[in-house]
């Protein structure tokens, strides 16, 4: 993705988030230079990969297949493994109309996907085999706002604003906005986007950035190179 497109997407996302009465934390608005100057005090944010995240999954078709995310907080895998401490994460996502977040699952992370406002969020579901692999002929069980729901393979949930689904490791899912754009909340166990996203297709998790202009804000995928 071109950096200029990323900058525009950040601005549009911030405007949409504010329109629903939500304000991002102060570090969201640091410039790259301010982030560099404060990287020592911001080490926990950097290590947890909190912040802006925009992806086209390396396919170069952001409008058709892509996602905006902002990681608000993220715990430690070490805490999760020992069963105490900061074992949780929280994100905001924007799923644009008909913009696919492609079929994937997680090995570790359980998550609530919540329609925080906007249009309808469609979540397509498949089960997994005993090894956790995608199984196109298997369904499974999820929980929608605390109510058990068995799903058939390929069944689509239509979540209106305020509705949610709880997904556990091995629940294969894809999602997109239907009828308009959707502000999505994600509350989960500790999030590891570098290793814990298993896609059905051979795609990447992060975008390759073409630096046609300077960044307004850093993405989490920029931290390694810009804050080294």
Q: Would the CA dihedral through 222, 194, 78, 26 be positive or negative? A: positive
Q: Identify the pLDDT of residue 115.
A: 98
Q: Identify the pLDDT of residue 217.
A: 98
Quick: pLDDT tens for 153-205.
Answer: 999 999 999 999 999 999 999 999 999 999 999 999 999 998 999 999 989 89
Parent domain of 74: 3-226
Mean pLDDT of 193-218: 94
Quick: pLDDT tens for 9-67.
Answer: 999 999 999 999 999 999 999 999 999 999 999 999 999 999 999 999 999 999 999 99
192 φ, ψ (degrees, to nearest 5): -130, 90
Question: Per the structure, how many domains does the chain have?
Answer: 1
Q: What is the DSSP string of 133-157?
A: -EETT--EEEEETTEEEEE-TTEEE
User: How distant is the alpha carbon of residue 55 from its chain centre?
Assistant: 9
**Residue 228, pLDDT above cutoff 90:** no
Nearest to 123 by CA among 95, 145, 84: 95
Give the CATH number of the domain where residue 8 resides: 2.60.120.10
CA distance from start to end of the chain: 22
Q: Identify the pLDDT of residue 8.
A: 98
Quick: pLDDT tens for 90-106.
Answer: 999 999 999 999 999 99
128 φ, ψ (degrees, to nearest 5): -130, 160
Q: Identify the pLDDT of residue 97.
A: 98
């Amino acid at each position: 993705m071109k950096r200029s497109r990323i900058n525009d997407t950040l601005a549009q996302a911030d405007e949409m988030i504010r329109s629903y009465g939500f304000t991002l934390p102060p570090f969201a608005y640091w410039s790259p230079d301010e982030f560099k100057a404060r990287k020592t005090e911001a080490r926990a944010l950097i290590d947890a990969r909190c912040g802006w995240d925009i992806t086209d999954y390396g396919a170069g078709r952001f409008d058709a297949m892509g996602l905006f995310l902002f990681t608000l907080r993220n715990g430690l895998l070490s805490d999760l493994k020992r069963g105490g401490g900061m074992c949780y994460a929280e994100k905001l996502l924007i799923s644009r109309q008909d913009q696919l977040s492609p079929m994937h699952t997680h090995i570790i992370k359980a998550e609530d996907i919540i329609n925080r406002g906007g249009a309808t969020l469609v979540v397509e579901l498949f089960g997994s085999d005993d090894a956790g692999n995608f199984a196109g002929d298997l369904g499974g069980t999820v929980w929608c706002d605390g109510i058990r729901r068995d799903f058939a393979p390929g069944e689509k949930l239509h979540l209106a604003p305020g509705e949610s689904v709880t997904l556990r490791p091995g629940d294969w899912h894809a999602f997109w906005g239907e009828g308009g754009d959707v502000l999505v909340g994600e509350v989960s166990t500790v999030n590891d986007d570098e290793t814990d996203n298993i896609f059905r297709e051979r795609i990447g998790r992060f975008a390759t950035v073409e630096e046609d202009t300077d960044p307004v804000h850093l993405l989490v995928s920029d931290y390694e190179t810009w804050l080294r």
